[in-house]
Amino acid sequence: MTTAVGLRTHRAGELTEASIGGEVILCGWVAKRRDHGGVAFIDLRDASGVVQVVIHDEAVAHPLRSEFCLRIIGTVTRRPEGNDNPNLATGTIEVEATTVEVLSESAVLPFPIEEHETTPVSDEVRYRYRYLDLRRAESAAAIRLRSRVNQAAREVLLGDGFVEVETPTLTRSTPEGARDFVVPARLQPGSWYALPQSPQLFKQLLMVSGLERYFQIARCYRDEDFRADRQPEFTQLDVEMSFVVEDDVIALGERIVSAAWSLIGHEIPLPIPRITYAEAMRRYGSDKPDLRFDLELVDCTGYFAATEFGVFQAPHVGAVVMPGGASQTRKVLDSWQDWAKARGARGLAYVLVGDDGELKGPVAKNISDEERAGLAAHCGAHPGDCIFFGAGTERSAKALLGAARLEIAKRGGLIDEDAWAFTWVVDAPLFEPAGETDDVAVGSGAWTAVHHAFTSPKPESSDTFDTEPASALAYAYDIVCNGNEIGGGSIRIHRRDVQERVFAVMGLSPEEAEEKFGFLLEAFKYGAPPHGGIAFGWDRICALLSGASSIREVIAFPKTGGGFDPLTSAPAPITDAQRKEAGVDFVPDPASPA
RNA sequence: GGUCCCGUGGUGCAGUUUGGAGUGCACGCCGGCCUGUCAAGCCGGAGGUCGCGGGUUCAAAUCCCGUCGGGACCGCCA
């Protein structure tokens, strides 16, 4: 006698030899049909896996097609001698069907559900039919893993006294950062909500409220152009704590990341190493260095201080060595020029170190004998290597070389794809010059926050950050995994006077600050506790954990690069009636808001 | 805003460089045969506005211009 749970007694993938002889009722989809005329085999798939169903009645089996949804009543039997399928968890048994009920027929599929090496499917088609794509084991696995990552983080946080709070998604537009998505307010024509770019201000208010420990798996919205790892809506694991210092937040962050990676069987050695922003930029030319390989940049500014070579007469000259790069063909070396130009550089100067130690290439002809003599040694290059140079402002040269370092590693196979290299990047600058370019001198007077406007200066910068903004350090920390920034946070400003001074450096007048952030400044009047926190890029973390090349793989219903949802066809026009009711055509009085 | 790549039966491709009949491959689909397959097999068949628009040409999937869609990257993303 079988006991049904819902429409079935068992899950297909969980049947074992222990069930042999018993009657079972299964529900699932036709993954495969192999019809031999007198006998037919159905691979029946449900969420738990697959089991082979045998149907001896041709009249029953023949009309069945891929992805029909079936209810099978049958008996579990041992497969006949020699018919086991070692590739299947349930490969030693099968279900002899006595009753086949078609719960739902399936139209012909736009693409095969079961994976075939010979039939890859474009992402565009997969996302257009995402509900079918998610029947595929690999696609579903990423979404299931994400659920477990959520659970792992919640366990760490709830076990530590954190309170999960949902903050508004209809909120106020803030002037800093990315472009807002806006929503018309029907009851106040001409006024608009904004969707939050992050719960930043709300979580700080929750600290003022005395919650002390907050977290949220928070949906965030930014109306910017997209990338493989960027969607218009995305998710952060957002955390904030009162009465903590940097080390406390970092330690908690490590526990969360550690719990997440242990889900895929990787134990992260703790503590995760830390590197300062300045050192990361100096050695790797990036504030999110990929430490799966060693290659480091070399500073050649002093070496070429008196050079006659015009290209190297720049505020900063740096180099990065490509091991074995001297054997690259002219065509490949040209491709590096295209690569550099695509990044906005004029080109990528290079020197080839011959097997005899002789320097070759156009740059080698343009530098002095003296400069040639010691160059390979200065850069740490060996015979057979290629040295790439970047010259310009320190920022642009290092950015180019940092990118070249990554590209060298990719082309040269220097990256261990199985490695996980974590690091904290700490002590970032508090401000950076707004609109710096190669041609404009630093010091135009306009500064912008490197992290965000609510990041506290480090204690040693607290007196001087507004008089010497260039050298002020932020009480901030980013966590980087394999060259991806997977989280970032800071100790926040909790004093109204400090917050006002930061706004002033950024060129925000007291009136503007009051207009935009008055509610925060007001809250800080009422005994705001020192606090800090961190936000993790949850989609990116889940993508890394599932081995996906794009965060789209860990988003149930992702959008394309144009912000288009291929499944629902959003965004879409609305009716005239909707426009009228929403008030989107309301034209405000030109005199108000500034 | 910019650079590059892609768009060909339902799916994934080849064909485009050097213009010549919608040509080919794999999977899927439909029909038939088939009692032990598991990417079942065998036989037969259907299925196309070569993204769209314009231009050049006797002739365009192929060359040119524009446009739309997808992807990667730069800018942007506090």
Six token digits for residue A390: 């970047």
Alpha carbon A431 to its chain's center: 24
Give buried/exposed letters for A427-465 (b at 16+ CB in 10 A, else e). bbbbbbbeebeeeeeeeeeebbbbbbbbbbbbeebbeeb
With tokens 């049909």, the residue in question is A33
Query: Which protein residue has its CA closest to C1' of B30?
Result: A108
* Closest by CA position to A502, among listed A490, A485, A487: A490
Six token digits for residue A349: 């100067």
Please name the helix (run of DSSP H) or strand (run of DSSP E) that holds residue A71, with its range, or none: strand A69-78
Residue A484 main-chain phi, psi, to 5 deg: -110, 130
Nucleotides of B under 7 A from a protein CB: 1-4, 10-13, 26-30, 33-41, 69-78
Query: Average pLDDT in the A145-156 region?
Result: 98
Predicted confidence band of residue A176 (pLDDT cuts 50, 70, 90): low
Please name the helix (run of DSSP H) or strand (run of DSSP E) that holds residue A125, with its range, or none: helix A123-128
For A6-36, write each residue's pLDDT tens digit: 999 999 999 999 999 999 999 999 999 999 9
Indicate if the pLDDT at residue A344 is higher than 90.
no
Q: Where are the beta strands (DSSP E) in A303-347?
A: 316-322
Q: Cα(A98)–Cα(A276) distance, rounded to whole angstroms?
A: 69
Q: Cα(A101)–Cα(A2) distance, rounded to whole angstroms?
A: 17
Six token digits for residue A549: 């090349």
Report the 10 Å Cβ neighbour count for A235. 23
For A110-127, write each residue's pLDDT tens digit: 998 987 655 688 888 999
Predicted confidence band of residue A438 (pLDDT cuts 50, 70, 90): very low
Q: How far is the CA of A342 from the C1' of B63 (A)?
A: 27
Which residues 186-205 of chain A have a CB under 7 Å from nucleic chain B? 197-198, 200
Indicate if the pLDDT at residue A436 is higher than 60.
no
Q: How far is the CA of A236 from the C1' of B76 (A)?
A: 20
Please give the nucleotide, over all strands, whose C1' is closest to the CA of residue A179: B77
Query: Average pLDDT in the A507-527 region?
Result: 88
Q: How far is the CA of A12 from the C1' of B11 (A)?
A: 28
| Residue A509: predicted pLDDT | 83
Contacts of A61 (CB under 8 A, 6+ apart): A33, A35, A40, A42, A55, A100
* Closest by CA position to A386, among listed A293, A324, A445: A324
Alpha carbon A137 to its chain's center: 22
Report the 10 Å Cβ neighbour count for A24. 20
Q: How far is the CA of A74 from the C1' of B14 (A)?
A: 47
Give yes or no for a contact between A153 and A237, defined as CB atoms under 8 angstroms apart: yes
Predicted confidence band of residue A432 (pLDDT cuts 50, 70, 90): confident
Higher pLDDT: A1 or A284? It is A284
For A284-314, write each residue's pLDDT tens digit: 999 999 999 999 999 999 999 999 999 999 9
SS3 (DSSP) at A42: strand
Q: Kindly determine whether the C-beta of residue A592 is less than 7 Å away from any atom of nucleic acid strand B.
A: no
Q: Cα(A490)–Cα(A477) distance, rounded to whole angstroms?
A: 6
Give yes or no for a contact between A136 and A130, defined as CB atoms under 8 angstroms apart: no
Q: Where are the beta strands (DSSP E) in A243-313?
A: 274-276, 298-299
Query: Average pLDDT in the A60-64 region?
Result: 95
Q: Cα(A420)–Cα(A264) distance, rounded to whole angstroms?
A: 12
The amino acid occupying position A396 is S
Instruction: Give the β-pairing of A422-426 and A274-276.
Output: parallel
| Residue A593: predicted pLDDT | 54
Give yes or no for a contact between A42 and A70, defined as CB atoms under 8 angstroms apart: yes
Which residues lie across from A352 on neighbouring strands? A360, A386
Q: Is the peptide bond before A571 cis (omega within 30 degrees of 0)?
A: yes
Give yes or no for a contact between A474 and A458, defined as CB atoms under 8 angstroms apart: yes
CA A437 → CA A130, A344, A507, A539, distances in Å? 43, 11, 19, 32
Indicate if the pLDDT at residue A437 is higher than 50.
no
| Residue A333: predicted pLDDT | 87
Q: How far is the CA of A69 from the C1' of B31 (A)?
A: 24
SS3 (DSSP) at A276: strand
Report the 10 Å Cβ neighbour count for A383. 12
Percentage of chain A lying above the pLDDT 70 cut: 96
Give yes or no for a contact between A246 and A217, defined as CB atoms under 8 angstroms apart: no
Six token digits for residue A43: 């691979």
Predicted confidence band of residue A2 (pLDDT cuts 50, 70, 90): low
Which residues lie across from A388 on neighbouring strands? A320, A350
* Closest by CA position to A240, among listed A230, A231, A252, A228: A252
| Residue A443: predicted pLDDT | 36
Q: Cα(A311)–Cα(A392) distance, rounded to whole angstroms?
A: 9
Query: Average pLDDT in the A421-428 region?
Result: 96
* Closest by CA position to A355, among listed A381, A329, A336: A381
For A447-490, write each residue's pLDDT tens digit: 888 888 899 999 999 999 989 988 899 999 999 999 999 999 99
What ipTM did this prediction achieve?
Answer: 0.92
Higher pLDDT: A176 or A424? It is A424
Six token digits for residue A134: 């998610």
Residue A219 main-chain phi, psi, to 5 deg: -80, 135
Alpha carbon A546 to its chain's center: 12
Q: How far is the CA of A474 from the C1' of B18 (A)?
A: 62
Query: Average pLDDT in the A158-166 region?
Result: 98
The average confidence (pLDDT) of chain A is: 91
Q: Kindly determine whether the C-beta of residue A112 is less than 7 Å away from any atom of nucleic acid strand B.
A: yes
The size of chain A, in residues, is 594
| Residue A535: predicted pLDDT | 96
Q: How far is the CA of A156 from the C1' of B5 (A)?
A: 44
Q: Kindly determine whether the C-beta of residue A86 is less than 7 Å away from any atom of nucleic acid strand B.
A: no
* Closest by CA position to A456, among listed A411, A402, A495, A492: A492
| Residue A476: predicted pLDDT | 95
